[in-house]
Amino acid sequence: MIKMKKFLLAILVLYATLSHAQQEPQYTQNQFNSNLEINPAYAGINGNPSLSVRSRKQWSGFTGSPATLRLVGESNLVANSLSAGLTLSSEWIGITHSTSADLNVSTRIKVGRKASLSFGLKAGINMLSSDFSKLSNVDPTDPLYSTEKRTIPFVGFGALLYTDKVYIGFSMPRLVSFEQVEPQSKITKPHTYIYGGYRLKANDDIELRPALLGKYVAAAPFEMDIALDAWYKNVFGIGGSYRTSDAVCVMVKTRISKLYLGYSYDMTISALGAYHGGSHEIYLGYEFAGKNDPDRKQNNRYF
């Protein structure tokens, strides 16, 4: 019985790995100032410099499950025209550790009286290391199982159309990756994101924020996140989301002056859910607003 359980577990791990292997790190709190991670056009649209850190542990209790730590900062360089952002990331999956850094530059133009259109470019580097010595029942002297390292530069782009009430974005953050290997050995494939959201005022105190995020990469199924946040006086928010064929998620968020906090928990709905304790994600952000800046309650582009 124990052997059968281990065999089933191995099959489930293999299935989850194959179905998600080409996906970049996924997050649940996609509305919470996180779009710079997938779309360079997001840099600077909030008007003030901001800094955030995000930690995610996927499939907690499962040995070797994905863990991600990411730092994001962005600021205007030239008011209303040129902005820049920086993301630093580390991810651990099984025997593989990935470290990446990228610079994002964006520019904006007015489209009509209320809308703006932002375009952004992303350039970065991804460093991968796989330590096969951590595997059991392998010969560490075999060259096939030596530590493998790759350094992969990449470039991407994105666009974002937004007002104070609605946003629509499109991006390919790693459109081109410069891997010095044969085409059949490449591990990076372009990812395409299309997403949008809306702010709906229910009454003077409550605001609803529905959002959609679609993700596609070749050789993997199209994935959609369907989310809804409800905010009370723009200070406290609760929400939920559904990730197609993968998970149901719950979220709590709060805004304390210029500080933003968020926590989410994912409940896996596939067969793999029986073998781990869910996924946890924590978000912490700070906006460096000036003394004369308008209150975010009146001028909020913080999705």
- Which tens digit of pLDDT belongs to each residue from 44-97? 888 889 999 999 998 887 777 889 999 999 999 987 789 999 999 999 888 888
Band (289; pLDDT cuts 50, 70, 90): confident
Extended beta strands in the chain, E state: 50-57, 67-78, 82-93, 96-111, 115-130, 148-162, 166-177, 191-198, 200-201, 206-217, 223-232, 236-243, 247-256, 259-268, 279-287
Taking residues 274-296, report their average pLDDT: 75
Instruction: Identify which has the larger pLDDT, 117 or 16.
Output: 117
Residue that has been written with the tokens 């730590």 in this structure: 69
pLDDT(300) > 80 = no
Band (293; pLDDT cuts 50, 70, 90): low
Q: pLDDT of 193-244, one tens digit each?
A: 999 999 999 999 999 999 999 999 887 889 999 999 999 998 999 999 999 9
Q: What pLDDT is attached to residue 301?
A: 44
Q: pLDDT of 239-281, one tens digit each?
A: 999 999 889 999 999 999 889 999 999 998 877 766 678 899 9
Strand-strand pairing, 247-256 and 236-243: antiparallel
CATH topology of domain 2-287: Porin (2.40.160)
Q: pLDDT of 101-135, one tens digit each?
A: 999 999 999 998 889 999 999 999 999 887 776 66
8 A C-beta contact, residue 34 and residue 169: no
Q: What pLDDT is attached to residue 149?
A: 83
Phi and psi, residue 75, nearest 5°: -160, 155
3-state secondary structure of 147: coil
Band (19; pLDDT cuts 50, 70, 90): very low
Q: What pLDDT is attached to residue 68?
A: 92
8 A C-beta contact, residue 32 and residue 301: no
And the tokens for 68? 């991600």
Domain coordinates of the chain in residue numbers? 2-287
Taking residues 13-37, report their average pLDDT: 62
Q: What pLDDT is attached to residue 160?
A: 94
For the residues of 69-106, what is the DSSP string, one character each?
Answer: EEEEEEEEEETTTEEEEEEEEEEEETTEEEEEEEEEEE
